[in-house]
Structure 1
Amino acid sequence: MARLREVSRHVRSKQAGPFWVTMDIWFDGPGSFERYKASPALSPDVFGQLFGTDPALVKHIPVPELNLVKISYPRATPQGGILERDMHSGQQYVRLLDIELD
C-alpha cells in the first residue's frame, strides 16, 4: 500500500472561514489521482475520527483537471477560540501524510 506522502505532489491544509478547514491533496499525476481519489482512507469517516468532526458534514470534492482532491470539514472549535491550537489550520495536513491508501 502507498502512503499519501508517496503519491502526492503537495498536501496542504488551511482555514476556510472561522468554522471550516480545507485539505488540498495534489496527486503526482493523473494515474495516482484516478487510483486514490475515492480511497476509503480519505473517506468522511476517517476525517471524522482524525479531526473530531461529524462525517456527515465532510465534503469530498475531486478536481480532475488539477489531479486534486479537496476535502473540507467543520472545525472542532471556532477559529480564534480559547481552545485554538492552530489558528490558520496550516498544520492539520500532517496527520494525513502517513495514511495508507488502497
Structure 2
Amino acid sequence: MSESRTIADLALEVRSKNASPFWVTMELFMRDTAGYTIVADPGYLNASVIARLYGVDADTVQIFRIPALDVVKISFPRPVSQGSLRDRDIHAGQHHVPLSLFPLPNE
C-alpha cells in the first residue's frame, strides 16, 4: 500500500511567515501549472480546509491565487499575537507543516 501524495510532493516550496504580529501568511510555490491547477482549485483548498487545519475562523481566511506565478498565498489571523506568552512559533516558521502534509485529492 503506497502512501498518499501531499501538497509538498507538487511544490517547489511551502513556507510560512509573519505577516504582522497578528497575521500569518503561507505561500505555496508550485513546480508547474499542473500542480498549481490542483492546489488552486477552490473545491480542494479553501477557507474551510485552512480553518480546520489551523483552528481559525473560516471567515477570516484570505486566499490569493496567482496563476501567472503558479503560487497560492494564504493569510489568516494568528491564534495568539507574536511574542505573547502562549506563542509557540514567534516567526511563524513552522505553520506551513500541516498544509505541506495535506493529502492531494484522489488522482
- The Cα of 1:14 is off from its aligned counterpart by 0.3
CA contact (8 A) 1:13 1:24 kept: yes
Q: For each residue in 1:28-70, what CA deviation from the matched residue of structure 2 results, as whole angstroms up to 9, or x when unmatched? A: 1012112321254422112112211110110010111210000
- The RMSD of aligned alpha carbons is 1.4
CA contact (8 A) 1:41 1:100 kept: no
TM-score by length of 1: 0.91
Which consecutive aligned stretches of 4+ in structure 1 deviate over 6 angstroms post-superposition? none
1:47-66 residue pairs with structure 2 within 5 A? 47-66=50-69
Identity fraction in percent: 34
1: CA distance, partners of 2:85 / 2:57: 21
Gaps of 5+ in 1: none
More helix per residue: 1
Structure 1 counterpart of 2:6: 3
1: CA distance, partners of 2:39 / 2:103: 10
Q: Which has the larger radius of gyration?
A: 2
Count of residue pairs brought into register by the alignment: 102
